[in-house]
Amino acid sequence: MASLTLSPAPSSSLLSRPHTLLSRSRFPSSASFSLFTTRCQFFGPLRYNNGAPPCIPVINESSLPGLLPTPRLQEIGGKHDTRLRIFSGTANPALAQEIASYLGLELGKIKIKRFADGEIYVQLQESVRGCDVFLVQPTCPPANENLMELLIMIDACRRASAKNITAVIPYFGYARADRKTQGRESIAAKLVANLITEAGANRVLACDLHSGQSMGYFDIPVDHVYGQPVILDYLASKTICSNDLVVVSPDVGGVARARAFAKKLSDAPLAIVDKRRHGHNVAEVMNLIGDVRGKVAVMVDDMIDTAGTIAKGASLLHQEGAREVYACSTHAVFSPPAIERLSSGLFQEVIITNTIPVLEQKSFPQLTVLSVANLLGETIWRVYDDCSVGYEPYSSLDID
């Protein structure tokens, strides 16, 4: 409680005790008032009227209507926060636009061009100072061009004083070079992880990495989400009897992925295609482990490159009596001659996602493209909002 105390001059003893309330009649006359000095002492915390703290008026549209032209630029707890920025590279702008639309944002303005000698130029066309920036850029073919573009985008954001920079990489190129299978080989996945980190990224958001250990190559946090639940939702909408289904892994290395997929797909039985690889992008099917006779076989893989593995596997499944064969993959790399192999009549349907853009000339009647924009958009929002990304159904496939 604050009290006002009047202290006399040293020669006087009047009013020597502090008083909490002084009325007008107790003040000394004007003639003797010059003998006193004023001192304020605090005996306790301030007390407010009716126990309520003092209020500071807040200026907003409700208090001053018409004076604030953009009242919705920043919604607390909403998805219109100006501190969240989405920028797209040239690799997959359509997916980036879908992600921004899911978040209720506009894509950030960025200028990307290539000089006559092939060098890449990047300039942000708006301020990102203090913002959380998400750069959407898969390192799909041409892998080196798109990777270098991503690195320069990260550097531009870092030099523009962005608060946090997250590299959203729907397809992580060089992920297959994750170990040494022969002497004197490079581990390019680790090298690319180092490049992204040193460029200035604070976090990486990836979708369906070729192998889980690739997350350990980064010295920054990695949020890994799976695109296969999007495919599961699509398959669930089809009129296929669960008793007729069998999930097939096209190779031994994908058994864990196929087993988790089968568990989510009405706990379907599992079959495995055993193959031996004699060279890069060259596969030879040996035999089949499991029973597919009279059933609908769903082949599951993380990517389709030249389609040699999955096409030879489908041929073997037909030889073993499979009624129909579906091919499901998150990443459609589609290097030649993938289109010829996939459209040859071996597959009832080829189901992929848009982590990599599919050009019109690579389309064929059996192809179905699903969008992962909502999956990535929701994950981006949770990362920005400091929420857990471990949400169903997209967080995990229980792959061990």
275, 285 Cβ separation under 8 angstroms: yes
Cα–Cα separations (whole angstroms), residue 379 to 104, 122, 319, 357: 14, 26, 42, 20
Report the chain's mean pLDDT, rounded to a whole number. Answer: 82
109, 153 Cβ separation under 8 angstroms: no
248, 300 Cβ separation under 8 angstroms: yes
* Joined tokens for residue 19: 């008083």
Percent of the chain with pLDDT over 90: 67
Q: Exposure of 42 by Cβ count < 10 A (0-12 exposed, 13-18 middle, 19+ buried)? A: exposed
The span from the CA of 112 to the CA of 110, in Å, is 6
Tell me the per-residue pLDDT of 208-256, one tens digit each, with 9 for 90 and over: 999 888 899 999 999 999 998 899 999 999 888 888 999 999 988 899 9
Q: Is the pLDDT of residue 68 over 80?
A: no
Per-residue pLDDT, averaged over 304-329, amounts to: 95
CA-CA-CA-CA torsion for 91, 354, 392, 178, nearest 10 degrees? -60
Instruction: Name the pLDDT band for 72 (thresholds 50, 70, 90).
Output: very low
Q: Is the pLDDT of residue 177 over 80?
A: yes
Q: Is the pLDDT of residue 316 over 80?
A: yes
Of 223, 147, 158, the C-alpha closest to 191 is 147
218, 340 Cβ separation under 8 angstroms: no
Q: What is the pLDDT of residue 71?
A: 32
**Which residues pair with residue 36 across a beta bridge?**
8
Cα–Cα separations (whole angstroms), residue 21 to 18, 25, 27: 9, 12, 11
Q: Is the pLDDT of residue 6 over 70?
A: no
Per-residue pLDDT, averaged over 186-200, amounts to: 97
CA-CA-CA-CA torsion for 371, 372, 375, 376, nearest 10 degrees? -130
Q: Is the pLDDT of residue 28 over 50?
A: no
Cα–Cα separations (whole angstroms), residue 43 to 19, 46, 50, 302: 11, 9, 20, 71
Q: What is the pLDDT of residue 240?
A: 87
Q: Determine if residue 203 is left, alpha or beta; phi over 0 gives left, psi from -120 to 50 gives alpha, anything else beta.
A: beta
The span from the CA of 177 to the CA of 263, in Å, is 29
Long-range CB pairs of 378-382 (<8 Å, 24+ gap) are: 378/102, 379/205, 379/223, 379/225, 380/84, 380/86, 380/99, 380/103, 380/134, 380/166, 380/168, 380/205, 381/79, 381/84, 381/103
pTM here? 0.77
